Amino acid sequence: GIPQRIQADFKAYDGEAIFGLGQQQPGRLDLKGCVIDLIQRTPRVTIPCSLSRRVYGFLGQNPAIGRVEWGANWARWLAEGSTQRTYWSTAGGPPAEILGLSATATGRALLLPKWAAGFWQSKLRYRSQVELLAVAHEYKRRDLPLDIIVIDAGHWTLMGDWRFDPQQWPDPAGMLRELDRMGIKVMVSVWPTVNALSRNYPAMQESGLLVRTERGAPTPTPLFDIRPAGPIGLYLYDATHPAARKFLWDQLRAGYYRYGVKLFWLDADEPEIKPIHPDNLHYYLGHGAAVHNIYPLLHARAFYDGLRSEGDDEIITLNRSAWAGRQRYGSAVRLGDGESTLDA
């Protein structure tokens, strides 16, 4: 159907404190009296699940762009473009019970592996295999704990190739073996963006595995890549398309997993678009205004399904964004890119 603006109104109560909705930043723990935009954008994460002091939990199950208005006289949930509005609610128990029922409805979290609670080392950025191994060896020389080391953005040939640059990372398998002997696991940063110069772009374009735009430029976001110089228009793979998720994992298996990489940092998975106009996007699941907020959940699913298909059961990804149910895919959420200021 054609997305329509949908509004649901509820009675408001004096003294009702409301918490949740993911990682919002209104500067208040109690969201009563706030207007919260329901849209994914760094450094905010939208998870439409809330908990009231009146001992009920509320989950807006629709991934549409919208907002919540918790006024003194009225409460309102708005979807700017949707074909339906669905809610789930539970009431009566203490907060722990309500949160448990919410987890049952959206999916139980995977057990966190013991090693994941250790020390993670990351910086912007390790530029070569030589540099990364030197850092790992220095940790060991000083007898400092190091459980996971993260290879950040820019280690690739091009966005959308999803593989190491062989000039700077000539022996990934040997590097992984050496780090494994030191008891160190490797996490690799993976972006959902695709450069038109990527070796995978033609096949993805032909098979309809990329997010389309409704108007204007066909690329929804300008970012920097290895080449060409300067900000360029980049495409997004369509995480709402099952075939696109399978295609992505096939590339990840060939570019990383076969060398021993089993941990992935899902950066820019809101997804990052500039300017933020989800209504200009068209996904496999439908119009961007109606489905955009679910992108990080299904992106995490691509990695979960891929790793499970290989027989792995200790699955954890580090994500910059999320949506309701992300915990069942082993998704750990980090706060998006923030500013290093005295106020922050």
pLDDT tens for 51-70 read 999 999 999 888 999 999 99
Contact 249, 192 (CB under 8 A): no
Query: What pLDDT is attached to residue 72?
Result: 92
Which pLDDT score is estimated for 344? 52
Q: What is the DSSP letter of 294?
A: G
How many Å apart are CA 253 and CA 259, to the nearest integer?
9
Q: Rounded CA gap, 19 and 12, in Å?
A: 15
Q: How far is CA 117 from CA 70, 113, 165, 182, 187, in A?
A: 37, 7, 30, 17, 14
Helices (H), 256-291: 288-291
**Residue whose pair of structure tokens reads 């918490």 in the numeric block:** 19
What pLDDT score was predicted for residue 3? 79
Token pair in block for residue 142: 């000083």
Contact 115, 185 (CB under 8 A): yes
What local confidence, expressed as pLDDT, does residue 64 receive? 95
The candidate with the shortest Cα–Cα distance to 245, out of 274, 278, 204, is: 204
DSSP 3-state of 169: coil
Residues serving a catalytic function are 267, 270, 337
- Count other Cβ atoms within 10 Å, centred on residue 121: 18
Positive or negative torsion for Cα 311, 315, 318, 324: positive
Looking at the DSSP bridge assignments, the partners of residue 232 are 223
Name the nearest CA neighbour of 293 among 44, 30, 56, 9: 44
Write down the residue that tokens 């009231």 correspond to: 52
This model's pTM is above 0.85: yes
Query: In DSSP terms, which residues pair with 266 in a beta bridge?
Result: 190, 319
Give the per-residue pLDDT at 343. 67
Q: Which residue has the tokens 């987890």?
A: 103
**Residue whose C-alpha is closest to residue 152's, from 235, 262, 316, 267:** 267
Name every residue whose Cβ is closer than 8 Å to that of residue 3 and which is 6 or more positions away in sequence. 64, 81, 82, 83, 286, 287, 289, 290
Residue-wise pLDDT tens for the chain (344 aa)? 677 999 999 999 999 999 999 998 888 999 999 999 999 998 899 999 999 999 999 998 889 999 999 999 999 999 998 988 888 999 988 999 998 998 889 999 999 899 999 999 999 999 999 999 999 999 999 999 999 999 999 999 999 999 999 999 999 999 999 999 999 999 999 999 999 999 999 999 999 999 999 999 899 989 999 999 889 999 999 999 999 999 999 999 999 999 999 999 999 999 999 889 999 999 999 999 999 999 999 999 999 999 999 999 999 999 999 999 999 999 999 877 766 777 65
**Nearest to 47, CA basis, from 29, 25, 70, 24:** 24
- C-alpha span between 83 and 50 (Å, rounded): 23
Which tokens is 303 given?
């990695």
Q: What angle do CA 117, 51, 65 make, to 5 degrees?
A: 90
Whole-Å CA distances, 173 to 195, 255, 257, 320, 324: 26, 11, 10, 27, 36
